[in-house]
C-alpha cells in the first residue's frame, strides 16, 4: 500500500474515503456526505476529543465531506484544502444555499438586524462565506441582509468570486492579529495560516501547513547574496515556519516571538532563529 499523508487523506483502520480504496487498508469505505461549517470558527482537531491539539480551523460556510459521526464528533475532510480531522457535530450543518459573498475585512460583526446599535449576535472572520438576500440602509450605513435575516456591514463584504489584487496587502491588513497555533482566522492565526488565508482572498488555493507550502507554492527561488534578490510576495521558509516578504528587506509573519502577526527586517528574524535554534532558512519560493 502507498504511504499517504494522514493530514490530506481520510483513512483509519475501520473506515476510509472511498477514493482511497485499493491504496489503503480499511474495514470499509465510504463516499461520505457533504456539509458546511455552521459556526464562525470551527476547530479541526486530530482526535475526537476537546483536549486534542488544534490542527487547523474552518470558517463559516466552509464545505466539508463527513465520513463518520460518533459521540458528538464528525470525522471530516475540508473541501478547499483537503485537511482531515474532527469537528464537533454541532459545528456543522447540511449544505444550504450557495454563498454569494465573503467577509473581506479582517473581522466584522453579525447583527440581528440592520442597525449597529443592536447587540451583536456573532463576530466573523475574513474569509467567511455568506448568503446575501438583500440590503438595507440605517442612518446612512448600508447593511447586507443575510438569508438568515441577520445583517452585516455591507462594506465589509466582497463578492464570493472577487479576488484581492495583492495577497501581501491582505496579509498586511492582519498585522497585530494574535498568534494562535493552528489558527486560520482574523481572531488568531499562525504562520502558514496567514499565507493560506491571504492567498485564498487573492483567489489562489494553497495547502495548509508550512511543509506542504514549501513543497508546492510557486517556484523555488535563489535569493542571491545576502538575500538581495527577494521582492514583495516572496516566501521564506524555515523548518516549521514561513514568512512573507513585504518588500525587499522586511518579513511579515505570524510568530511566537511576539505572539502577533509582525513586520520586521528579515535579517533580524534570521539572526534570532539562528541564535535560538541554530537554523537558517530552508528555502525561498516565489508564488
| CATH number of the domain where residue 84 is located | 2.30.30.40
Considering the domain architecture, whether residues 123 and 211 belong to the same structural domain is answered as no
Q: For residue 205, which of 188, 245, 197, 285 has the smallest C-alpha distance?
A: 197
Domain assignment of residue 1, yes or no: no
Considering the domain architecture, whether residues 115 and 87 belong to the same structural domain is answered as no
Q: CA-to-CA distance for 11 and 68, rounded, in angstroms?
A: 11
- Residue 110 phi/psi, 5-degree rounding, is -105, 130
Q: CATH number of the domain that 231 lies in?
A: 3.90.1720.10
Q: CA-to-CA distance for 266 and 259, rounded, in angstroms?
A: 17
User: Residue ranges of the chain with pLDDT lower than 70?
Assistant: 1-2
Considering the domain architecture, whether residues 172 and 261 belong to the same structural domain is answered as yes
Domain assignment of residue 41, yes or no: yes
Give me Rg for the CA atoms of the chain.
Answer: 20
Considering the domain architecture, whether residues 110 and 212 belong to the same structural domain is answered as no
Domain assignment of residue 8, yes or no: no
Domain assignment of residue 5, yes or no: no
Eight-class DSSP state of 31: -
For cell 513585504, what's the residue?
A: 246
pTM score, whole prediction: 0.97
pLDDT at 2: 55
pLDDT at 84: 98
pLDDT at 224: 96
**Residue-range definition of the domain harbouring residue 36:** 16-93
Instruction: Work out how many domains the chain is built from and give that number.
Output: 3
pLDDT at 3: 86
Amino acid at each position: 500500500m502507498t504511504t499517504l499523508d494522514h493530514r490530506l487523506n481520510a483513512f483509519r483502520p475501520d473506515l476510509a474515503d472511498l477514493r482511497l480504496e485499493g491504496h489503503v487498508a480499511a474495514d470499509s469505505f465510504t463516499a461520505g456526505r457533504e456539509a458546511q461549517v455552521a459556526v464562525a470558527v470551527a476547530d479541526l482537531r486530530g482526535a475526537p476529543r476537546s483536549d486534542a491539539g488544534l490542527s487547523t480551523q474552518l470558517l463559516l460556510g466552509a464545505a466539508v465531506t463527513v465520513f463518520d459521526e460518533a459521540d458528538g464528533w464528525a470525522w471530516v475532510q475540508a473541501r478547499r484544502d483537503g485537511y482531515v480531522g474532527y469537528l464537533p457535530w454541532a459545528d456543522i450543518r447540511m449544505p444550504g444555499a450557495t454563498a454569494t459573498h465573503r467577509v473581506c475585512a479582517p473581522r466584522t460583526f453579525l447583527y440581528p438586524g440592520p442597525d449597529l446599535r443592536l447587540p451583536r449576535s456573532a463576530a466573523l472572520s475574513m474569509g467567511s462565506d455568506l448568503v446575501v438576500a438583500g440590503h438595507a440602509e440605517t442612518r446612512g450605513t448600508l447593511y447586507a441582509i443575510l438569508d438568515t435575516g441577520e445583517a452585516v456591514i455591507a462594506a465589509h463584504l466582497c463578492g464570493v468570486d472577487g479576488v484581492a489584487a495583492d495577497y501581501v496587502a491582505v496579509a498586511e491588513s492582519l498585522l497585530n492579529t494574535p498568534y494562535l497555533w493552528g489558527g486560520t482566522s482574523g481572531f488568531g492565526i499562525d504562520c502558514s495560516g496567514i499565507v493560506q488565508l491571504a492567498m485564498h482572498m487573492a483567489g489562489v488555493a494553497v495547502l495548509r501547513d508550512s511543509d506542504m507550502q514549501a513543497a508546492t507554492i510557486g517556484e523555488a527561488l535563489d535569493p542571491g547574496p545576502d538575500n538581495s534578490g527577494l521582492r514583495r510576495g516572496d516566501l521564506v521558509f524555515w523548518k516549521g515556519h514561513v514568512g512573507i516578504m513585504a518588500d525587499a528587506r522586511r518579513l511579515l509573519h505570524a510568530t511566537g516571538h511576539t505572539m502577533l502577526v509582525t513586520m520586521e527586517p528579515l535579517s533580524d528574524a534570521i539572526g534570532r532563529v539562528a541564535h535560538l535554534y541554530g537554523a537558517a532558512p530552508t528555502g525561498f519560493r516565489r508564488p
